[in-house]
Amino acid sequence: MSERTDRLHRKLETELGPVVRNALADAEVVEVDINPDGQIWVDRHGVDLAMIGVMGPQVVMSLICTVAAMSDRVVTPTAPILEATLPDGSRFHATIPPITTAPAIAIRKHLSQALTLDDYVRQGVMTREQCERLRRAVAHRENIIVA
């Protein structure tokens, strides 16, 4: 690992802060969002959404710039969207003004294993009836829209 890469990794860990780092380390958390108002939210398999902290806009912007640098990209008002992959495989999506009122981030964790429809039923993400309807649709090669 180059000195620059090592420095950026350390900077990323610092800027994520303990609240976001702990959320990303939690096996139940699938997404961490930092909204334009600075509120940090976690999604636990679509079942439990919880606000876990707050991050200031300067820290959020610094975090976005660090991830951009790691990806050899820049984020500016004329290029206000960043799509990147974090070192752990998580997908990183960030927006800055003018398309949002303040910097915002969505981090979608890389899943270590694929979830089955039965997993979704067990987690309460879908009902057994929805699961069976989806299975029938796939078996009959019907069109399926996922939103």
**Rounded distance, CA 143 to CA 96, Å?**
36
How far CA 68 is from CA of 61, 72, 94, 110, 114, in Å, comes to 10, 6, 10, 19, 28
End-to-end CA distance of the chain: 39
Report the topology of domain 3-108: Beta-Lactamase (3.30.450)
* pLDDT of res. 105: 98
Task: Find tokens 């303040």 and name the residue.
Answer: 102
* pLDDT of res. 28: 87
Exposure letters 57-90 (e unless 16+ CB within 10 A, then b): bebbbebbbbbbbbbeeebeeeebebebebeeeb
- In tens digits, the chain (147 residues) has pLDDT values of 789 889 999 999 999 999 999 999 998 899 999 999 999 999 987 677 899 999 999 999 999 999 999 999 999 999 999 999 999 999 999 999 999 999 999 999 977 667 788 888 887 888 999 999 999 999 999 998 877
10 Å Cβ neighbour count for 24?
A: 17
**Rounded distance, CA 88 to CA 110, Å?**
7
Q: Tell me where in the chain the CATH 3.30.450.90 domain(s) lie.
A: 3-108
SS3 116: coil
pTM, 2 dp: 0.77
**Rounded distance, CA 70 to CA 100, Å?**
23
* pLDDT of res. 112: 66
* pLDDT of res. 48: 79
Residues ≥6 apart with Cβ < 8 Å to 73? 82, 84
